[in-house]
Each structure stands twice: as C-alpha cells, then as structure tokens.
Amino acid sequence: MDTASRVVPLLGGYAGTISFAFPHNLPAIMVFAIATVSLLGSWFHDSVHRSVRLPAGVDFLLARLGASPVGFSPRWWAYKHVRLHHRYPGNPEFDPDIQFGRLGRVSSAQGWQPLHLTQHVHMWFLLPFSTLNMLKPAEPRLVRRYNHLPGITITVPGWVFLLDKYVGALVVWLPVFLTQSLRGATATFLVFHLCAGTLVSFVTQVQHNTALSDDSDDYSARWPLCDQVLRTTDVGRRQGVWWWLCGGVNFHIAHHLAPSLTFLELPAVTARLRADLREIGLDLPVHRDMITAVRSHASLVRSLARRPCDNSPHSPGHPAR
C-alpha cells in the first residue's frame, strides 16, 4: 500500500508531463517531482542501505524509479551516503551529503570565507538547484579524492557511476524532449528539478544542519553512537504529510543508530528509544514541525555566517543545545 501511494502519483505525474505541452503540464510536473522525492527518501534510500524487505527485482525497480528522474546513481549513493555520510555525519572532510562546499558554511569545522558573510541570504536561492548540481559529472574526481582519504577505498571506476546515473536519466527525459518542443521540454526539465531540488534540500538540511544538532569540530569518534544521535535531528513525532513527503526519514536519529531498519519500522523504534531515554532523564533532539525545523536551520546558517573570533576554536554565536 505504501509503495502504491508513491509509485502511482509518480507514474501519473510522468504521464501528464509527457502528454501535455508546457506550461499546461505544470500540475503534472509538480506531482511528478513531489512523488519522486517521496520515493527517494523511502524505497530508494532503503535500497541503498540494503534494508528493503522486498524481492530483489522489485527492490531494483523501485530504486530506479526514484533515482532516474533526478539522475542519481544508486551505486554511487551506496558509497557516498552509506560509507561516508553515515560513518562521518557532519564531517566536512568526509561527509558529502549535507555540505555546500565553498558556497555555505554549516559546521564549525568548515573554514570561514568572506562569501559566507551573506550565506543566510544567498543559500536560500541555491537550494532549488541541488539536484541539477548533482547531475554534473563529478564522480571521477570525487573517487580520486576519497581514495586518498584514510580508511576509504572505492574500487569502482568513476565512469561506471556516470553511466549508472546518466542512462537512467536519459530513459526518463528523452521521451519528453522527443514529444515536445525544445523550449517546452527544457522548461519542463528545469521546473521539475527546481521543485525536486527544493524539497530534497529541505529534507536533508533539517535532518542535520540545525541549531539542535551538534556542529562542533570534535570528530574524535570516541563515542560513535552518541555522535550519531547528536549530529542529526527528528522532525515531528507522527506519520503525517511530512512523513510521506520525505519518505519516512524524518525519524532520522533511529535511522542513523540502526540503518538496517526500514523506514516503515522507524516510527515504532523511535517511540521506544524516546521512552527508554526519558527513563534516564534524556530526550531526543526533535523539531516540533517542519516550520520549526526550517527556522532552526536558518538560525544555524546565520550564526555560522559571521567571521569566527581569532581567539576561539569555534564560530561565534554557536547555538545552545
């Protein structure tokens, strides 16, 4: 049932995207983009973690349905998300999932640059371009970079990851360009990615880069499970619209503690974890709702925009937790 709630609007939105010329296909494009993000956060995400409780063929199909419209490579995500992001959450040297590079500073461990002075303004305009940015052929360069880091070995050639993502994207978007004018197809492609990119950015940022999450530069890994809890946050406590939209990963702390769990298991596990922690006087870092989470993200970005004090190892205005 959950699968149908995501796949049916995705296929329906895609059919409408192809069947109608731009701008008459705008509603279909929006449905297509929203359903794609929902599938990315749920079945694609679980497939990358190899936690899907489905036959292998169905697993493969669902992963491709989510990944192909935005041009994601499941094979590359198995490296960059599972082996890098989950092992080193928030570490700007190792974690490629939630960083903005030179354009934005979301951790005290990132070096400050003059461009960061305006990040609390300009970063909001960059969020819609996140999936378009992922389409660039960066994998060969990143493979070389990460293979020089201690403890990281990527044995697959970079060109394999490029093939993995571009073939899927071509299968999805070539029919659009064949059935519509070049201008209309280009506009359709851009609107889809701007919508999907905005949603993907908000989903990822509010799970890690907020005033509730630990953005310190201590990556000693002395307490790895504590690090997994402190460097991520939950958004909401119920399975509502946001749960469906983000693919169930709003219960993100339990996911980082036990990545082998499916997104369908996370609500119950989170409730049990919260109850156990309360018995010893602790609670999980959780935002009441999406609006609160976005405000918290904005607070962190603003505090890290200022130039760090010369006599302090951390950025000024580091949010209290």
Q: Residues near 98 by Cβ (< 8 Å), separated by ≥ 6?
A: 85, 90, 106, 204, 205, 208, 209
**The two structure tokens encoding residue 295:** 């405000």
Kindly state whether residue 128 falls inside one of the protein's structural domains.
Answer: yes
Let me know: does 168 contact 68? Beta carbons within 8 Å: yes
Strand runs labelled E in 108-232: none
DSSP reduced 3-state for 92: coil
User: Does the pLDDT at position 67 exceed 60?
Assistant: yes
> 147 lies in a domain?
yes
Residue 315 has pLDDT above 60, yes or no: no
Which domain does 291 fall in, by range?
2-303
Looking at the domain assignment, is residue 321 inside a domain? Answer: no
pLDDT at 219 (0 to 100): 63
In this structure, is residue 281 part of a structural domain?
A: yes
Q: What is the DSSP string of 14-54?
A: HHHHHHS-TTTTHHHHHHHHHHHHHHIIIIIHHHHTT---S
Does some domain include residue 115? yes
Count the domains in the chain.
1
Q: Look at residue 314 and tell me if it is in a domain.
A: no
Which tokens hold the place of 59? Answer: 């697993």
pLDDT band at 220 (very low <50, low <70, confident <90, very high): low
Give the pLDDT of residue 221: 56
Nearest-angstrom CA–CA distance, 132 and 244: 23
The pTM for the full model equals 0.88
As a whole number of Å, the end-to-end CA separation of the chain is 39
Q: Indicate if the pLDDT at residue 90 is higher than 80.
A: no
Would you place residue 121 in the very low, low, confident or very high pLDDT band (cuts 50, 70, 90)?
Answer: very high
Q: Find the largest Cα–Cα distance for the chain.
A: 63
Q: What is the mean pLDDT of residues 226-248?
A: 86
Of 90, 41, 89, 88, the closest CA to residue 66 belongs to: 41
Say yes or no to pLDDT of 313 above 60: no
Asked, for residue 23, whether it belongs to a domain, the answer is: yes
Rounded Cα gap, residues 193 and 282, in angstroms: 40
Tokens of 84: 């890098």
Task: Confirm whether 309 is domain-assigned.
Answer: no
- For the stretch 289-307, pLDDT in tens is 999 999 999 999 999 998 8
pLDDT in tens, 6-57: 999 999 999 999 999 999 999 999 999 999 999 999 999 999 999 887 887 8
